[in-house]
Amino acid sequence: MNTLGDHIRTRRLDLGLFQSQVAEQIGVRPQTITNWEGNASQPPVQYIPDIIQFLGYAPLPPADSLPECLAAARRRLGLSQRKMAEKLGVDPATVMGWEAGRHQPTGKSLDLIGRALDVRNWQVG
């Protein structure tokens, strides 16, 4: 399985559910589930927490670096980079830079990020 849509379809079929039932659980229209399962579109980040709850696991690739770990934690919470920046009290460009690996958060920022995203251990790989 390569996409979130693939994971959703497999889980839905395993549970014997209709797309409308999954749509209700996730909070979208049935056509949205059709589009995701057909890989015509990808779920926006704000639906990732509900998708993870439906699936029972996080179908995100493993993080091999701090930037990837930070982005994965943000997605699991359904936060855009802008919303995460607001939550942390930093500029959105700072979050973008962290996730792109252009610069690293300081020790103080790491503590703040860990608390805000409920990430206890920044060990990756």
Residue at 86 is within a domain: yes
Kindly report the pTM of this predicted structure.
Answer: 0.79
- Say whether both 99 and 74 belong to one domain: yes
Q: Give the length of the chain.
A: 125
Per the structure block, which two tokens stand in for 99? 């996730």
pLDDT tens, residue by residue, 55-66: 999 887 778 888
DSSP-derived 3-state class of residue 111: helix
- Domain of 37, CATH number, reads 1.10.260.40
pLDDT band of residue 119 (cuts 50, 70, 90) is: low
Domain of 86 in residue numbering reads as: 66-117
- Say whether both 51 and 72 belong to one domain: no
Residue at 106 is within a domain: yes
Per the structure block, which two tokens stand in for 83? 């919303």
- CB of 11 within 8 A of CB of 33? no
Residue 103's CB is within 10 A of a number of other CB atoms, namely 10
